[in-house]
A = this chain, B = another copy of it.
Amino acid sequence: MTTINDVARAAGVSVSTVSRALRGLDRVSPQTRARVAQAATELRYVASPTASSLASGRTRAVAVVFPFLTRWFFATLISGIEQTLRRHDHHVLLIALEGESFGTRLRLSRSMLWKRVDGVIVLATSLDGQEQAVIDNLGLPVVTNGNRIDGWSCVRIDDEEAMRLAVRHLLDLGHTEVAYVGARPDASAYPRIPQDRARAFAETLGASGVSCQPEWMVESDWTGPGAARDIMPVLTGPSRPTAVVAASDEMALGVMGAARRLRLAIPGDLSVVGVDDHVLSSALGLTTVRQDVLHQGRRTGEVLMRQLTGEDVAVVDEVMPVRLVVRESTAPPARR
């Protein structure tokens, strides 16, 4: 339990000098700095983070608020965030909003964040006005990924463009019978993303004079098993689409599973396209609209760090690129 006092004594200087020297502040002579550094090393001194937090008011931690950790998208995003925060010597404080039972979720409260963190990152999470106020009242920098909320910086993709790329790809192949698996509004996940994607799906189709029957637009839960279950009625219905677009790759892979179960060949009987470029998509040959989720996480962390350091305090809205990656799950429709 060596403290700053021990180091000061060993180096023959005052604690204030030790503090300054070790943190690399100026107004310390090179000789003194060296002496302090050596004493600290010899004593294996590590400053107590709680003590410095209390004294400085800074915690070197950032809260990351999210609905699910088990979904690939969020795990990857958080991984990217963690990487950049670590580089800046900051920590991630996980704030999972997932509730004990399905459909419920925790409310974000003042006590979850108060005096705990220097900044907040919110990941595609649906927050009500009260929860937004909780964050705003903290007076900390905030960056979101996905949520577009006035006054908060945001890193995201253009959801409508992503969906347009997917649909146009199918239209270009000649498909006119296209179904859609999106996500229903949910207590946790930010609703605008599925809304934007669903709207862009219908509009892009419509712009080419193709209409989509309402029964072919199903709302699922962002998961593979969910999508497999929810697309079933469409695939077993009286008339069957020649293609399905899913709002995420996890759901698209679920659709591929449902097709397999029905002995529908992909892409012979059914084309499938998703959004994300999930880690398994390349191996399984899923055509998708790729976004670089890891990089997006890193970028989100960087935007927050800039606000923290005061380097760049402006509220930003960064739109990351997406691009179509054609693999083996899409082909022209079979003639019937």
The CA-CA distance from A48 to B56 in the complex, in Å, is 13
Question: Which B residues are in CB contact (< 8 Å) with A328?
Answer: 260-261
> Are B50 and A59 in touch, CB under 8 angstroms?
yes
Question: Which B residues are in CB contact (< 8 Å) with A282?
Answer: 225, 228, 257
A108 contacts the other chain (CB 8 A)? no
A54 contacts the other chain (CB 8 A)? yes
Find the B residue at minimum CB distance from A253.
B280
Question: Which B residues are in CB contact (< 8 Å) with A50?
Answer: 50, 53-54, 59, 115-116
The CA-CA distance from A223 to B111 in the complex, in Å, is 39
The CA-CA distance from A72 to B71 in the complex, in Å, is 8
Residue count of chain A within 8 Å CB distance of chain B: 55
The CA-CA distance from A280 to B280 in the complex, in Å, is 10
- From the candidates B72, B115, B284, name the one contacting A70 in the complex (CB within 8 A): B72
> Are A253 and B46 in touch, CB under 8 angstroms?
no
Question: Which B residues are in CB contact (< 8 Å) with A59?
Answer: 50
> Which residues in chain A, 214-239, are within 8 Å of chain B measured between CB atoms?
223-225, 227-228
A177 contacts the other chain (CB 8 A)? no
Question: Which B residues are in CB contact (< 8 Å) with A75?
Answer: 69-72, 74-75
A44 contacts the other chain (CB 8 A)? yes
Given contact pairs A83-B98, A224-B280, a sample of 13 additional A-B residue pairs in the complex whose CB atoms are under 8 Å apart: A46-B111, A50-B116, A68-B79, A70-B75, A70-B76, A94-B94, A223-B279, A253-B283, A254-B283, A257-B285, A258-B283, A260-B285, A280-B280
The CA-CA distance from A258 to B328 in the complex, in Å, is 12
Question: Which B residues are in CB contact (< 8 Å) with A48?
Answer: 54, 114-115
A171 contacts the other chain (CB 8 A)? no
A78 contacts the other chain (CB 8 A)? yes
